[in-house]
Structure 1
Amino acid sequence: MTEASTPSGAPRTAALAGRIALVAGATRGAGRAIAVQLGAAGATVYVTGRTTRTAASEVGRTTETIEETAELVTAAGGTGIAVPADHLDPEQVRAVVEQIDTQQGRLDVLVNDLWGGEHLVVFGKKMWETELDHGLRMLELGVKSHIITSWHALPLLIRNPGGLVVEITDGTAATNRRFRENFFYDLAKNGPIRMAANLAHDLEGTGCTAVSLTPGWLRSEQMLEHFGVTEANWRDATAKVPDFAVSESPLYVARAVASLAADPEVHRWNGRSLSSGELAREYGFTDVDGSRPDAWGYIEEVRHGGADRTPDDYR
């Protein structure tokens, strides 16, 4: 646990005071939680996404909006600023970065949590059995959007040493050596891992850092709806799917990002592929219930390794 952290391991209030963050894809799930935790540590957080109180993205959900996320950031102690943007449109991204530059003159943390392709994934289908338009759209949402955002934002981020880029994905470099059940999904989720490694190379000499980060089995709004539960009674879903016991709330990966952003020695992670469970052990933070889930450890050791352990052994 660092000196700038609380007993839960989350950074203390004001640990990120004066820092400016852009969370790209902050409408819901991990992106929203990350934005709020950065705000709770005192940061000014620009939150972007396609779903607003007046417009919905292709996912079709209107229950969460970027305006609401910005309000939650401010309520947590930071300053939340909502900026509607489609990160596949270079001009819209350029405008976001110009707004940050004009208003703040700096950018300290960039979180690429762009995705929104869940509705396109059909696991178990061969590459040629997957609708080509769906497959290519997954790559746009999970790879191209990250590239466009970093290309526009990094010149501002590298003006000052200490900047941090976090590529949010699904899986680590180690776990993703195994096929991720769909050709296009596999590429979309391995792309950010390589992007972080490549950016780490390009950032050398700037004093800035790039990492990729994965949550475990995330209890996002979509996943809770899928199981017909809420965050309050999520364990009810384990009656049907026992493995769900190793799941984690979005707060867990959010605390991972906030801990990285507050770490004065964050450059030691440069280029690394990290998980929320790994960083919980390093920084000492916990999930909302005080546990430290390690979903990827469970998957590797039990599902693939045959270890005689239960999901609750990995909490």
Structure 2
Amino acid sequence: MSYFPASLVSMTTETTPLRGRICLVAGATRGAGRAIAVQLGAAGATVYVTGRTTREKVSEVGRATETIEETAELVTAAGGEGIAVPTDHLEQDQVRALVDRIDRERGRLDVLVNDVWGGEHLLVFGKKTWENDLAGGLRMLELGVRTHVITSYTALPLLIRNPGGLVVEVTDGTTEYNGTRFRENLFYDLAKNAPLRMAFGLGKELEEYGGTAVALTPGWLRSEQMLAAFGVTEENWRDAVERIPGFAVAESPVYVGRAVAALAADADRRRWNGQSLSSGQLAREYGFTDADGSQPDAWGYMFADETGTPDVADYR
């Protein structure tokens, strides 16, 4: 069953501000990556979507219920053109073939979204670094850092061919939050801080080409994998709030998807160059909402929750 019913996929039904734009969403099998691809499609873009899970093969994440082919079909159904390209972003030859294909077929790249991850199954909290499994920790760094570096290294020469390109490094946490808090697992902490620095550094490098690089984090994301872990669905997700009160400010993947689509459509987006952004922050800036019409601010809630007992209604 698709996570994105037809009534939710479109940023607007009246305009397609990204018609003619060529986008690559690396890591678009599910969750934030899928939603970003769909919302770019809803705005009219052509979107190349990549990942390791296809209808013929399942990645180490072990979820056969979402595939890149389905993501591409959702992009097309939303009004864009979705193109699925199976790609392991740890393999530079595969990434090179992907970028060469985009160049050959379209001759340009306007938006690169680095959303590759897939390390949740390796994540263990409550242990010291030396108590964790080293192989699992290093694999998290490969999945969350090395993939992003390989993809940017390989794709950016195509993106800078035309001025105005956008790079979005998707992560977990803002610079403000991660910069003063330990994410309770050193490998995860490193994996989610690296994209923040990548966006900062790439922003400096892209300035002379008129490009923009940002880091973007969703809040508490109701991804397919997260919902399954909590034993709920998108329809009854609030049932998990009694056990986990903070989940009341959770957002659907549609929210961060709309954030990227709004950024990509903003002619003045260079004002964000090198910065760390959140879906809630951009919702206030651009005026979009989550699928249910709300504007959750999960990071604002988490800051407030550390010093008091905030009212969830003030952050939704």
- Among 19, 22, 40, the residue aligned to 1:20: 22
Shift of 1:301: 1.2
After superposition, the C-alpha distances for 1:70-114 in whole angstroms (9 at most, x for unaligned) are: 000000000000000000000000000000000000000000000
Partner of 2:315: 314
Letter in 1 for 2:217: T
Q: Aligned residues, how many?
A: 306
Partner of 1:236: 239
Taking the aligned partners of 2:21 and 2:268, their CA distance within structure 1 comes to 16
Partner of 2:272: 269
After superposition, the C-alpha distances for 1:13-59 in whole angstroms (9 at most, x for unaligned) are: 32100000000000000000000000000000000000000001011
Taking the aligned partners of 1:42 and 1:213, their CA distance within structure 2 comes to 21
After superposition, the C-alpha distances for 1:263-308 in whole angstroms (9 at most, x for unaligned) are: 0001000000000010000000000111110110011112x222x3
Three-state SS of the structure 2 residue aligned to 1:21 is strand
Three-state SS of the structure 2 residue aligned to 1:278 is helix
- Among 148, 160, 182, the residue aligned to 2:185: 182
In the alignment, structure 1 segments of 5+ residues that lack a partner are 1-7
Q: Kindly report structure 1 stretches of 4+ aligned residues shifted beyond 4 Å.
A: none
Shift of 1:256: 0.3
Does 2:206 match 1:203?
yes
Does 2:274 match 1:300?
no
Shift of 1:310: 2.2
1:90–1:148 contact (8 Å) kept in structure 2: yes
1:215–1:276 contact (8 Å) kept in structure 2: yes
2:230–2:240 contact (8 Å) kept in structure 1: yes
- Among 157, 160, 171, the residue aligned to 1:158: 160
TM-score by length of 1: 0.95
After superposition, the C-alpha distances for 1:219-245 in whole angstroms (9 at most, x for unaligned) are: 000111112111111111112212110
Taking the aligned partners of 1:69 and 1:264, their CA distance within structure 2 comes to 27
Taking the aligned partners of 2:312 and 2:188, their CA distance within structure 1 comes to 25
Equivalence map 1:129-148=2 (5 Å): 129-148=131-150
- Among 95, 104, 107, the residue aligned to 1:105: 107
Taking the aligned partners of 2:313 and 2:224, their CA distance within structure 1 comes to 22
Partner of 1:67: 69
**Matched residues, percent identical?**
73
Letter in 1 for 2:143: L
Shift of 1:9: 10
Equivalence map 1:10-49=2 (5 Å): 10=11, 13-49=15-51
Letter in 1 for 2:315: Y
Letter in 2 for 1:17: R
Taking the aligned partners of 1:305 and 1:297, their CA distance within structure 2 comes to 12
Partner of 2:6: none
1:166–1:210 contact (8 Å) kept in structure 2: yes
Taking the aligned partners of 1:183 and 1:235, their CA distance within structure 2 comes to 31
Taking the aligned partners of 1:175 and 1:305, their CA distance within structure 2 comes to 14
Three-state SS of the structure 2 residue aligned to 1:150 is helix
- Among 222, 239, 253, the residue aligned to 1:219: 222
Letter in 2 for 1:213: L
Taking the aligned partners of 2:57 and 2:260, their CA distance within structure 1 comes to 28
Supply the RMSD in Å over aligned alpha carbons.
1.2
Letter in 2 for 1:31: G
Taking the aligned partners of 2:27 and 2:277, their CA distance within structure 1 comes to 19
Partner of 1:127: 129
TM-score by length of 2: 0.95
Taking the aligned partners of 1:244 and 1:311, their CA distance within structure 2 comes to 10
Letter in 2 for 1:159: R
Does 2:290 match 1:290?
no
Taking the aligned partners of 1:105 and 1:44, their CA distance within structure 2 comes to 13
Partner of 1:57: 59
Does 2:252 match 1:249?
yes
Taking the aligned partners of 2:310 and 2:63, their CA distance within structure 1 comes to 38
